[in-house]
Structure 1
Amino acid sequence: MSISPLPLPERIDDESAMVRYLGALLTADGASGRRDLWVFMLDGDGHPLDPATCVDDVPADPAPRFTGNLFLLFRRTLASVAPDGSVAMALERPGPPQVCLSDRQWASALRWGARREGVRLHGPYLVVGGRVRRLPDGEAN
């Protein structure tokens, strides 16, 4: 999936604004047919930083080392470009719109990585079937 060429909003200051922003960007062109992890950085005031990054074709089961290293990179990047900034993440996948075990595992792994590195995380969100929703809190079952 490609990102739609939409202007960046002035500020994302709540959950519904984040869902609208991600929906406008990620659902316009249709699903990619694979599992992708989208990363969006925001400055300390909630202004999106350009560009968004996509980790293509991630596995169904997240590896703790991968998510830990990913958030180490985010912490270092934010320290240099937006010290009070944050990261929004969206897992895009094909298939049914219901949240599945793999989605919950990704959510838990991403939240763990963010806590470990002290990175403020929005979401994570799930993008499937043209819909964006926040993945539920809680550990994988």
Structure 2
Amino acid sequence: MDTLTEPFHPGDHVADDAELLELATFLAGGVAARRRCLTLTWLDADDRLLGLVMPVSDLPVAPEPSTLPGLGGLMGAVLAENAPGGSVVAVLERPGDPAINAGDRAWNAALRAQDDARVRGVFVAAGGAVRPLTLDDAYDAGDAPDAP
């Protein structure tokens, strides 16, 4: 796992949605992704940054049901060990247009459906922009996305 460097530091309070978007933008780096990657970071119960960052590379367009229990277990295990009552922030980096697509919605729904961890925010970094995915952007993960 990598640790965060400036402008965010372990222990920094992520107070609101604007700061959460700043954190997601920081995690996405240049937001010119050439491949699909999911970057996870964690906040404690007081919304303070743990400073742990985990990139998961080579993602499929939509989550594969067989891998979700492991991903959910990982998200929850970090919280259980380091920040009980905390939450996860996820940034899906992908090439292409910044418009939210079916694959983004499938990842949003799958991440939010994990029982092992509370998700504070899901973001998409694509086409030079970082956008939040809301609960309204999620849909039944059983629906198959049409395009990458």
| TM-score normalised by structure 1 residue count | 0.85
- Tell me if the contact between 2:98 and 2:128 (Cα under 8 Å) persists in the aligned partners: no
Distance in 2 (CA, whole Å) between partners of 1:52 and 1:4 is 7
Structural RMSD (CA): 2.1
Q: Could you tell me which residue of structure 1 aligns to residue 8 of structure 2?
A: 8
Matched, 1:125 2:117: no
- Tell me if the contact between 2:42 and 2:50 (Cα under 8 Å) persists in the aligned partners: yes
Q: Please state how far the C-alpha of 1:56 moved relative to its aligned partner.
A: 0.8
Compare the two structures and name the one with the higher helix fraction. Answer: 1
- Tell me if the contact between 2:4 and 2:51 (Cα under 8 Å) persists in the aligned partners: no
Runs of 4+ in 1 over 6 A off after TM superposition: none
Q: Could you tell me which residue of structure 1 aligns to residue 132 of structure 2?
A: 134
Paired residue type of 2:120: H
- Gaps of at least 5 residues in structure 1 are none
Counterparts of residues 79-94 of structure 1 (less than 5 Å): 79-94=80-95
Q: Please state how far the C-alpha of 1:4 moved relative to its aligned partner.
A: 7.8
Distance in 1 (CA, whole Å) between partners of 2:65 and 2:71 is 10
Equivalent pairs counted in the alignment come to 136
Secondary structure class of the residue paired with 1:98: coil
| TM-score normalised by structure 2 residue count | 0.81
Secondary structure class of the residue paired with 2:66: helix
- Tell me if the contact between 1:6 and 1:25 (Cα under 8 Å) persists in the aligned partners: no
Paired residue type of 2:6: L
Identity of aligned residues (%): 32
